[in-house]
A and B are shown apart, each in its own frame.
Chain A
Amino acid sequence: MTPGGRCVEATHGAGGELAAQFLAEHILTRFPRTKTGSIGLDALDDGATLTLPAEGELVVTTDSHVVKPVFFPGGDIGRLAAAGTINDLAVMGARPLALTLSLVLEEGFPLSDLATILDSFAAALAEAGTSVICGDTKVMGRGEIDGIAINTAGVGIACPPISDVGFSPGDSILVTGTIGDHGMALLLAREEFHLRSDLRSDVAPIWSLIARALEVGGIHAMKDPTRGGLAAALNEMARKSQRTIDLEENAIPFRQDVLGLSAMIGIAPTDVANEGKAILAVAPNKAAVVLEALRAHPLGRDAAVIGTVTESHPGRVILNTTVGGRRFMEMPLGDPVPRIC
């Protein structure tokens, strides 16, 4: 917090003239693109409108974001909130049309930090070609909330929507890049381990990447491996579909520093969050072309085929380990604790 710097005050969320000034000065100025229909953010009306495309199904998603620390290597809560919502739409096969933005701020939160966070949010929206069309701001007393929480809703259009279960035996399982970067970067940033590294979060809106894959076709299912990481996302896909996902450990792309940190602290990189990655189940005859399309995009350079769908153990994920062993890959149990042997 900058001593003497300007901060969020209780009146900023209380309606009235002061709140209106706060909105005009500190929030609206951050968002140059404000509408996709006839009534948008700049109208400050009770709601906003969307002009619907002629084809496709509307996809709606919502997410609340809290993160510690608010600023982390590779991003901040603003970029995380925008990317999280855009990516939820993207893995439904939906082009993002518009987002909402609800801010819950702690009294005393530095306005300069808020500006940085909103600029990150706006930049991520621009990367995905979408806008924020309505929003809300509330201020809570000191100690009633930890700095900032952001809720977003997103609306997108999918033709057709892609679920996370529509895959069949024989399909290839792809990931769009290295696994575990965000979770490990945050573990480092929290300084519980007293380590330093260049590791950065992968937080990014990936709609433009997913759009390339959808153009190629053959995408049977998608999911973004956020909380719980690759292991949780694949297990959800396997359980819901009652298929088996059979993985090759040595095909899963990891950064060397992620592997090093993982070995040091005993937390698997497959168990921690990604914020700029997707899992794709692809028809076998399309896997190679989809992979090529993903790799041609800057966010998909490290994309890889990591496994196949089988029927040997319904509802389970199996890992063929690099050394030549074989075991189940389970849902993460929860917060791990250090070994004492």
Chain B
Amino acid sequence: MRDQPFALNDPQRAAALSSAMHRLVPRDRAVKIVHICGTHEATITEHGLRKLLPDQVHVLEGPGCPVCVTPTSDIDAALQLLDAGVTVCTFGDMLGVPGSGRTLAQARAAGADVRTVLSAADAARIARSVPQQVAFFAVGFETTAPMTAAVLVDDPPSNLSLLVSHKLIPPAMAALLEMPDTAIDGYLAPGHVSTIIGLQPYRQLPGGGAVPIVVGGFEPLDVLYALTLLLRQIATGVSSVENGYPRAVDAEGNPAAQRLIERVFSPCDAQWRGIGSIPGSGLALREPWEDRDARTRFRIEGRAGDDLIPGCRCADMLTARAVPSDCPLFATKCTPSTPVGPCMVGSEGACRIWFRYGGRPIL
């Protein structure tokens, strides 16, 4: 017999999970859970879920906003492409993120050809319809990388190149665990990324088994359920990788998407804004597609930009060492219309999300 269907914001089930968490939580200490996905933060904040958590449980967004972790040097590279007369296509969120000097939006206002797209396929369509060179600024985690790869294996127009800034989540999770002062008690792992990579990469994290890891979905009950599983692991003291989102995530992930990533890209070290270089956390184009690399095609010199903005605590936000209200600029000098740091620009940035829902997570 199947259960009766229920809404994924059902208040009775939410209350039951809330009381389970209150039973399981350690009495004598705070518990810090980190998720790595702006959509998790959006669910938690939009539905006011922190009210249902025990007081000593703190849930923070780590480096889960792909726009926010894109380093200044990559945005500067996109600006150099524009200066060279190349049309740059990217996601709308990228337009407001500051490079060393300008944003892409400011470059566009000054006459550069920046196009907002929803996918790499849109960029390929644009490239087919125009004579000039077109570069797709490819941002995002394991969820968007296969879509970029799919365009490359599908005979894209010769005037299309890529500025690859894709990033991988498990190496970032490992890096955060090794950093001082992060004190992470458990990871709420991203459901979308997990539909692609499955559970195995979490099991293979260096120091694997160091902390509980539970994959969670994005409806209110998904998040509460995953948090309850995390608190149960913390209570029993046995860490493992659990799937709290089985209706979407298969343990094997999506092998076709994995093969596509593997075919087009090889792992490389990558720069994360606010964190620095993380080994094996980026994707580089493999040899058959090297001529598609916009940096090579247009001889863009990599130059390290200054990722940190004085007074802005985005770096602490992206390493799960602060929440938006810890930053003195939050909602004062830094707002969505006058953003100082990237976490206020990206719609998955913690600051942007907290600001949208009033700036205070617990009422």
A interface residues (Cβ-Cβ under 8 A, vs B): 250, 313, 316, 318-330, 333-334, 336-341
Distance in angstroms from A48 CB to nearest chain B CB is 43
Residues of A within 8 Å of B46, CB to CB, are: 321, 327
A321 to chain B minimum Cβ distance, whole angstroms, is 5
Could you tell me if B11 and A338 are in contact, using CB atoms closer than 8 angstroms? no
- Name the contact of B190 in the complex, choosing from A313, A324, A341 (C-beta under 8 A): A341
Q: Is the CB of B336 within 8 A of A333?
A: yes
10 more A-B residue pairs beyond the given contacts A321-B46, A324-B52, A337-B93, with a C-beta to C-beta distance below 8 A: A313-B363, A322-B11, A323-B220, A324-B51, A325-B220, A330-B355, A330-B356, A336-B347, A337-B116, A340-B139
Across the A-B interface, give the 8 residue pairs with the lowest CB-CB distance, nearest first.
A328-B358, A325-B48, A337-B92, A327-B48, A323-B9, A323-B220, A326-B48, A326-B363
Q: Is B99 in the interface zone, CB < 8 Å from A?
A: no
| Contact indicator A323/B93 (Cβ below 8 Å) | no
Query: How far does the alpha carbon of A45 sit from the alpha carbon of B153 in the complex, in Å?
Result: 71
Complex Cα gap A328–B348 (Å): 18
Interfacial chain B residues near A321, Cβ < 8 Å:
9, 46-48, 220
| B336: A residues at CB distance < 8 A | 333-334
Say which one of B140-148, B172-180, B181-189, B203-211 lies at the interface with A: B140-148
Inter-subunit contact B51/A341 (CB<8 Å): no
> In the complex the two chains form, what is the Cα distance from A320 to B9 in whole Å?
12
CB distance from B159 to the nearest CB of A (A): 24
Interface positions, chain B 36-82, Cβ under 8 Å from A, are 37-39, 45-52, 64, 66-67
Contacts of A320 on B, CB cut-off 8 Å?
A: 48
Beta-carbon nearest neighbor of A268 in chain B: B46
Residues of B within 8 A of A316 (CB): 358
B221 CB contacts on chain A under 8 angstroms:
323
Q: Which residues of A contact B66 (CB under 8 A)?
A: 340-341
Shortest C-beta distance, B260 to chain A (Å), equals 18
Interface SS, A side: loop
- In the complex, A339→B192 CA distance in Å? 12
Judge if B118 is at the interface, Cβ distance under 8 Å: yes
Residues of the A chain whose Cβ atoms lie less than 8 Å from the Cβ of B233: none
* Tally of contact residues, B, Cβ under 8 A: 49
* Partner among A322, A323, A329, A341 whose Cβ is within 8 Å of the Cβ of B192: A341
B154 within 8 A of A: no
Partner of B51, one of A325, A330, A336: A325
CB distance from A44 to the nearest CB of B (A): 48
Verify if B281 is at the interface (C-beta below 8 Å from A).
no
Instruction: Tell me whether A323 and B47 are in contact in the complex, defined as CB-CB below 8 angstroms, given that A316-B358, A339-B39 are known contacts.
Output: yes
Q: How far is the CA of A84 from the CA of B99 in the complex (A)?
A: 44
- A339 contacts B347, CB within 8 Å? yes
**Given known A-B contacts A326-B51, A330-B358, A339 and B11 have beta carbons under 8 A apart:** no
| Interface bits B105-133 vs A (CB < 8 Å: 1, else 0) | 00000000000101000000000000000
- Max chain B C-beta neighbours (<10 A), residue from A323, A334, A337, A338: A323
Contacts of B14 in A (CB 8 A): 323-324
In the bound complex, CA of A323 to CA of B45 (Å): 12
* CB closest residue in chain A, given B42: A339
Set of chain A residues within 8 Å of B355, measured between Cβ atoms:
330, 333
List residues of chain A with CB within 8 A of the CB of B64: 341
In the complex, the answer to whether A341 meets B38 with C-beta atoms within 8 Å is yes
CB distance from A158 to the nearest CB of B (A): 34
Q: List, in ascending order, chain B residues with CB within 8 A of A341's CB.
A: 37-39, 64, 66, 140-141, 143, 190, 192-193, 348
What residues on B are CB-neighbors of A313 within 8 Å? 363
Q: Is B357 an interface residue (CB 8 A)?
A: yes
User: With a CB–CB cut-off of 8 A, which chain B residues contact A339?
Assistant: 38-39, 347-348
Residues of A within 8 A of B224 (CB): 323
Are B48 and A340 neighbours in the complex by a CB distance under 8 Å? no
Q: A333 and B356: CB pair below 8 A? A: yes
Complex: A185 Cα to B63 Cα, angstroms: 36
Q: Which residues of B contact A324 (CB under 8 A)?
A: 11, 14-15, 18, 51-52
- CB neighbours (8 Å) of B37 from chain A are 341
Contacts of A340 in B (CB 8 A): 66-67, 91, 93, 139-140, 144, 348
Separation of A9 and B57 alpha carbons in the complex (Å) = 69
Chain B residue numbers with a CB within 8 Å of A338 are 91-92, 118
- 10 A-B contacts, Cβ less than 8 Å apart? A322-B47, A323-B47, A323-B52, A336-B347, A337-B92, A338-B91, A338-B118, A340-B66, A340-B144, A341-B190
Closest to B191 in A: A341
Given the complex of chains A and B, what is the CA–CA distance between A321 and B10 in angstroms? 10
Query: Known interface pairs A322-B9, A333-B336, A339-B39. Does A327 touch B347 (Cβ–Cβ under 8 Å)?
Result: no
Nearest-CB residue, chain A, relative to B193: A341
Give the complex CA separation of A327 and B52 in angstroms: 12
- Complex Cα distance, B47 from A319, in Å, reads 9
CA distance A319 to B64 in the complex (A): 26
| B contact residues around A322 at 8 Å (CB) | 7, 9, 11, 47
Question: Nearest Cβ distance between residue A238 and chain B, in whole angstroms?
Answer: 12
Interface residues as binary, B338-363 with A (CB distance below 8 Å gives 1, 0 otherwise): 00000000011000000111111101
Do the beta carbons of B67 and A323 come within 8 Å of each other?
no
Q: In the assembly, what is the distance between CA of A336 and CA of B49, in Å?
A: 23
